[in-house]
């Protein structure tokens, strides 16, 4: 737990060899950058308990090595993109406690 504020930098998408990105329990705002979908070696993305808004980017479906995607306890809206179904190695998906819609 930290007190990080501001948005998640889109430049993180340039860190293509990163395997773990854990920014949980902060005060991060803005949207989840679509550029995170470029992080092809990422296995664990945890943005739990921030103040993130906007939709879940469909580009996250490009992260074929991702095993854990945790976006719970944010203010995310819209529907869950079907592209997440392309994540063949995904073992844990947690979108709980957002404002997501759809069926």
CA atoms of 31 and 88, how far apart (whole Å): 24
pLDDT in tens, 28-83: 999 999 999 999 999 999 999 999 999 999 999 999 999 999 999 999 999 999 99
Query: What is the domain count for the chain?
Result: 1
pTM: 0.95
CATH number for the domain including 76?
Answer: 3.80.10.10
Query: Which residues form the domain of 54?
Result: 5-100
- Shortest CA distance to 48 belongs to which of 78, 80, 32, 26? 26
């Amino acid at each position: 737990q930290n007190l990080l504020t501001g948005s998640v930098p889109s430049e993180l998408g340039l860190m293509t060899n990163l395997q773990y990105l854990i920014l949980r329990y902060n005060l991060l705002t803005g949207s989840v950058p679509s550029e995170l979908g470029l992080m092809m070696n990422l296995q664990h993305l945890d943005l739990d308990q921030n103040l993130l808004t906007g939709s879940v980017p469909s580009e996250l479906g490009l992260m074929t090595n991702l095993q854990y995607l945790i976006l719970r306890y944010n203010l995310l809206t819209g529907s869950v993109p079907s592209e997440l179904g392309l994540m063949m190695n995904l073992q844990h998906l947690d979108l709980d406690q957002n404002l997501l819609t759809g069926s």
